[in-house]
Chain A
Amino acid sequence: MAEPLLQVRDLEVGFATAQGEARAVRGLGFELEAGQTLGIVGESGSGKSQTALALLGLQARQARIGGSVRFEGRELLGLGEREWNKVRGNRIGLVFQDPMTSLNPYLSIGAQMAEVLVQHRGLGQAAALAECARMLDAVRIADAAARLRQYPHEFSGGMRQRVLIASALLCRPSLLIADEPTTALDVTVQAEILALLRQLQEDLGLALLLISHDLDVVAEVCERVLVMYAGRAVESGAAARLLTAPRHPYTAGLLASRPRLDAPLGEPLRPIPGQPPDPARLPSGCAFRPRCPAALPVCASEVPALRTLEAGRACACHAPLPG
């Protein structure tokens, strides 16, 4: 079988702290085929952003990285800066959470977009700007040519996120990573951006890695979902199955804690009790054990391995919920 577009194995991201090493990402593994969509879900602090940054070699200088990231048939971890820069923005596009601060306030939108094409394609400024205008059209920003001459402060949050998505797609990458692309936006704008991402993914045949703390956001766009807890994958599977029949108690907790429109009126939200652990002081055994309603004695002594339960479905739990 051909190698998948993206293959992540045993990914580790650690930071030396006063309390010992903070393990932000612990042995994470997943695969993504060309043109497919995968969502990564988890509470804040579960290591989602560190994963996204590590996939582009953008982790903090002091971070320790381990494992393997194979992309388009070659290993990325350990590349030199020059080689990394040929991947970043060119073969892999990355969109961040905060559109208000992710654009340079001192440069026009055109200047910030065109530089990507100048860098990777060697285009001249005029040709690059023409291509940028086409891409702004594609993300449905009206009057693209005029907008290119404007500055970020003349754009709303949603519009800025469209600009950032357009920038990330200028070189027609085969993979787009979007890290909480809608978290900072109004609900209505959120829906528009998600619809846009889904459509671009289909039209351009992109592989999409969508990261969110919100299961519903991910389920709306992605075929497959991976649930992260304290830097590890605790469950993965088809979005529809995961949502209706969670096998890991953490996934079930996430599902129970989200606000739902179809829930009976007056039914209280049931947040997962407790807090995610400090990555520098993880509990023994399963990291979710202190918050788990179904913890067994074995959960304190042994880290549960990620086991395949059925085709395309994996769960890291000593006592998975019945399927």
Chain B
Amino acid sequence: MLNHAFKRLLGAVPTLLLLITLAFFLMRAAPGGPFDRERALPPQIEAALQADYHLDQPLWRQYLGYLGGLAHGDLGPSFQYTGFSVAELIASGAPVSFRLGASAMILAVLLGGLLGCLAALRRNSAFDRALMALAMLGISVPNYVVAPLLILLFAICLGWLPAGGWSSHGIGDAGLPVLALALPQIAVIARLMRASMIETLSANFIRTARAKGLPMHLIVWRHALRPAALPVLSYLGPAAAGIVTGSVVIEQVFGIPGIGRYFVQAALNRDYTLVLGVVIFYGALIILFNFLVDLLYGTLDPRMRLG
């Protein structure tokens, strides 16, 4: 099985390469350049800058040069933050973004899973119907609408939580951004969990467990939870992607100094290397996460464990 896992990881290399290539050329196709300002720079300075960053070379040479650097783990210098390498910038934003993303993921899995199970057990009750209606809403309303609404409700109307900012320890000020980031995922996971729990509970082996005289909570916990959680587990890869893209918006809205904010600013400023660096970082992260989910999936099923 480890062998299989390794092969899968190798198979991700072309995916990543395609991602880099697309990002590279799309970025260059966008109008404007990194040194465009309100007031145009003197031509000789602009030329010197272009030469400094090899932007005067033909595109294919820049592309190959970038790949060459990448092969040595070099993401290049930032155009915007002079004196900083892209790797340094990502490293400085990563802990904050990671804390935000991981908290949102954990919250989404725990709360979404729990709500989905409860809805499945109380199928067609008022609780179930209300929850599924809310989930539908949570799925269809995007992050950038949810976030300001949450700020309005919790920070401005109720005054419970701060509206923005980020300290290194506080739980309180992380509350709103984490919730805003997690909400759509909570909604999806709750729906998934509900459907798969209902399906699992109709399985023959659950009937056997009931005929043994086990109480329902034990049946759910011991017999149903693991098989019912597998579809949710499969969804964690897409969920991670959703949280990554969501965090770009959320960091912007709440003013959180993470990678997502660099990303938006870099794109606006045509900071080619920083944009590419963040795209590669996000891509690699999601591929790695999917890979871990796959490994976990394999260990959960005894039929795959030995075979």
Give chain B residues whose Cβ lies under 8 Å from the Cβ of A81: 215-216
Are A153 and B303 in contact, CB atoms less than 8 angstroms apart? yes
Proximity bits, A70-102, B CB within 8 Å = 1, else 0: 000000000001101111111001101010011
Are A104 and B223 in contact, CB atoms less than 8 angstroms apart? yes
Are A90 and B207 in contact, CB atoms less than 8 angstroms apart? no
Interface of B (DSSP majority class): helix
Are B212 and A119 in contact, CB atoms less than 8 angstroms apart? yes
Does A239 lie at the interface of the complex (its beta carbon under 8 Å from any beta carbon of B)? Answer: no
Given the known A-B contacts A151-B303, A153-B302, A153-B303, are A103 and B214 also in contact in the complex, defined by CB atoms under 8 Å? no
Are B205 and A102 in contact, CB atoms less than 8 angstroms apart? yes
Q: Which of B214, B223, B301 contacts A119 (CB 8 A)?
A: B214
Are A88 and B205 in contact, CB atoms less than 8 angstroms apart? no
Proximity bits, A118-134, B CB within 8 Å = 1, else 0: 01100000000000000
Are B226 and A86 in contact, CB atoms less than 8 angstroms apart? no
Are B303 and A101 in contact, CB atoms less than 8 angstroms apart? no
Give chain B residues whose Cβ lies under 8 Å from the Cβ of A168: 211
Using a Cβ–Cβ cut-off of 8 Å, how many residues does chain A contribute to the interface with B?
Answer: 32
Are B213 and A164 in contact, CB atoms less than 8 angstroms apart? no
Are A88 and B301 in contact, CB atoms less than 8 angstroms apart? no
Does B140 lie at the interface of the complex (its beta carbon under 8 Å from any beta carbon of A)? Answer: no
Are B302 and A104 in contact, CB atoms less than 8 angstroms apart? no
Are A104 and B216 in contact, CB atoms less than 8 angstroms apart? no
Does B204 lie at the interface of the complex (its beta carbon under 8 Å from any beta carbon of A)? Answer: yes
Are A120 and B213 in contact, CB atoms less than 8 angstroms apart? yes
Closest beta carbon of chain A to B219's beta carbon, Å: 10
Are A88 and B210 in contact, CB atoms less than 8 angstroms apart? yes
Cα–Cα distance between A81 and B210 once the two chains are bound (Å): 10
Give chain B residues whose Cβ lies under 8 Å from the Cβ of A201: none
Does B300 lie at the interface of the complex (its beta carbon under 8 Å from any beta carbon of A)? Answer: yes
Does B203 lie at the interface of the complex (its beta carbon under 8 Å from any beta carbon of A)? Answer: yes
Within A100-115, the residues touching B (CB, 8 Å) are 101-108, 115
Does B61 lie at the interface of the complex (its beta carbon under 8 Å from any beta carbon of A)? Answer: no
Proximity bits, B238-269, A CB within 8 Å = 1, else 0: 00000000000000000000000000000000
Are B302 and A106 in contact, CB atoms less than 8 angstroms apart? yes
Does A116 lie at the interface of the complex (its beta carbon under 8 Å from any beta carbon of B)? Answer: yes
Query: Nearest chain-B residue to A56 (Cβ)?
Result: B211
Give chain B residues whose Cβ lies under 8 Å from the Cβ of A86: 213
Does A58 lie at the interface of the complex (its beta carbon under 8 Å from any beta carbon of B)? Answer: yes
Does B209 lie at the interface of the complex (its beta carbon under 8 Å from any beta carbon of A)? Answer: yes
Does A182 lie at the interface of the complex (its beta carbon under 8 Å from any beta carbon of B)? Answer: no
Within B182-221, the residues touching A (CB, 8 Å) are 203-205, 207-216, 218
Query: Nearest chain-A residue to B303 (Cβ)?
Result: A153
Does A37 lie at the interface of the complex (its beta carbon under 8 Å from any beta carbon of B)? Answer: no
Give chain B residues whose Cβ lies under 8 Å from the Cβ of A236: none
| 5 chain-A/chain-B pairs, Cβ below 8 angstroms | A86-B213, A96-B207, A104-B209, A106-B300, A115-B218
Given pairs A96-B211, A115-B214, 10 additional interface contacts (CB within 8 A):
A81-B215, A88-B211, A90-B213, A96-B207, A101-B204, A102-B204, A104-B205, A104-B209, A105-B301, A105-B302
